[in-house]
Structure 1
Amino acid sequence: MKRVLVVDDEPQLLRALQLNLRAEGYAVAVATNGNEALRVSSSNPPDVLVLDLGLPDMEGAEVIRGIRGWSDMPIVVLSARHGSTDKVEALDAGADDYVTKPFGLDELLARLRAVERRSSHATTGGVIDAGELHINLGAATVTRDGQRVHLTPREWGVLQMLVANRGNLVTQRQLLQTVWGPAYSEETQYLRVYMAQLRRKLEADPGRPRHLITEAGQGYRFEE
């Protein structure tokens, strides 16, 4: 069953989309603001995201950029804004498609099927073996030397984002905005604490990490 996250602050539309998408065989999660969308997308990544641009706490384009820092999940924008500037901003931020309100359910379903076909998104089903670590992104589990490692939701959010971008730098800002929310984008001490915790749990020698690498003053990187 495909998982879809619908993000909109209009209660009636949200309920209608929940009912109709479930009737079409989707497992539906919902969020009513940008912070919640980033949190849910990170903790339980959907197969496709349906996102309104006009959210109460931030612009939808900010949500898109936050998610694109770690995932290529398909994103379909819903918006009452018909101007080309808004469409260009959303698409440049990383949206895959743009549907203007009002819209028909058949059109939305067709757009969802189209972006799912085009997508190379594999994050939710990814299994990574990195030395003594076995990480299953879809099941949200980690084992070290065959033993299950318990991670808190925040620890998992950080690890998931790093693993999804393994080999590449993930900036402090990207991690903070996606895992904690935009209001925490400058709280770098949070990352130092959580990275130390992750290293204690996952590294054979936390003082000389093999997998969770710090790029001084920039961010972090996961190496296999």
Structure 2
Amino acid sequence: MRVLLVEDASDVAATIAAHFSREGFACDVVDTTAEAETCLQVQSFELVILDIQLADGDGRDLLRTMRQRRDPTPVLMLSANFSVETRIGSLDDGADDYLVKPFDLRELSARVRALARRANDDPAPEIVVGDISLNPSAQTVRLNGKLVSMTRRELTLLNILLRNTGRIISKEKLFDGLFTFDDADVGLNAIELYVARIRKKLGGSDVKILTHRNLGYSIESARRD
């Protein structure tokens, strides 16, 4: 999952980014609405986490701009002073959720996962395809009920493919879900490496990752329920 975090408190931003990295989220961090706008113009994100009080203005102005141009990206608002009026106003302006500082990072992650499921019209917390099950919250993969050890990026890539079972996902789309602007030295060929690792770890499964030349990858199950 590619997340844009707009937060001008450097310690808070660093803590959230480090936590998201452990959770397998690719998190880009900016500290102004201007930088956030630039990112949104050149990159698609699955979620924006937006602080209200920023150095160069009010985060709600960016929220309104996004909604005025019909940008449907889910937005979770953050604030240390979330009065009832502010919460109502933010939701009416198009925010999908809000969280009051200070907060537990586990709750933030849970809200992020819930917003992602809502955006994908997928209420189930666990993804099951054939003999593979993936729990994004627990960061676990099981093959026929047995745990399979995977790195966070392997989990993220598998998550993307499983949520799009039967559909071809381009290398570029997979790359965007795994890496941030700070990973400029990483090339698209890294996706081939991660796919090869996942295939090896899921050897013997009835779920297969298929390569579609010049198009990308898809995941399919041979099981017929």
What range is the shorter-chain TM-score in? 0.5 to 0.7
5+ unaligned residues in a row in structure 1: which ranges? Answer: 122-135, 140-224
Alignment of 1:119-198 (within 5 A): 119-120=119-120
Q: Which residue pairs with 1:113 in the alignment?
A: 113
Aligned-residue RMSD, C-alpha:
1.9
Q: Which residue pairs with 1:91 in the alignment?
A: 91
Q: Which residue pairs with 1:50 in the alignment?
A: 49
**SS, match of residue 107 in structure 1:** helix
TM-score (norm 2): 0.52
**SS, match of residue 109 in structure 2:** helix
- Structure 1 counterpart of 2:88, one-letter code: V
**SS, match of residue 82 in structure 1:** coil
- Structure 1 counterpart of 2:29, one-letter code: V
Instruction: Tell me how far 1:95 sits from its aligned partner.
Output: 0.6
- Structure 2 counterpart of 1:26, one-letter code: F
**SS, match of residue 64 in structure 2:** helix
**Cα 1:33/1:16, change in 2 over 3 Å:** same
Q: Which residue pairs with 1:63 in the alignment?
A: 62
CA distance in 1: counterparts of 2:13 and 2:107, whole angstroms:
17
CA distance in 1: counterparts of 2:40 and 2:94, whole angstroms:
15
CA distance in 2: counterparts of 1:100 and 1:116, whole angstroms:
20
Deviations 1:43-92 (A, max 9, x none): 11211111100011121111111112231111111110121111111111
Instruction: Tell me how far 1:120 sits from its aligned partner.
Output: 5.0
CA distance in 1: counterparts of 2:17 and 2:26, whole angstroms:
9
CA distance in 2: counterparts of 1:82 and 1:67, whole angstroms:
21
Instruction: Tell me how far 1:41 sits from its aligned partner.
Output: 1.4
CA distance in 1: counterparts of 2:59 and 2:89, whole angstroms:
10
- Identity, in percent, stands at 33
CA distance in 2: counterparts of 1:20 and 1:82, whole angstroms:
23
Instruction: Tell me how far 1:7 sits from its aligned partner.
Output: 0.4
Counterpart contact for 1:61–1:89, Cα < 8 Å: no
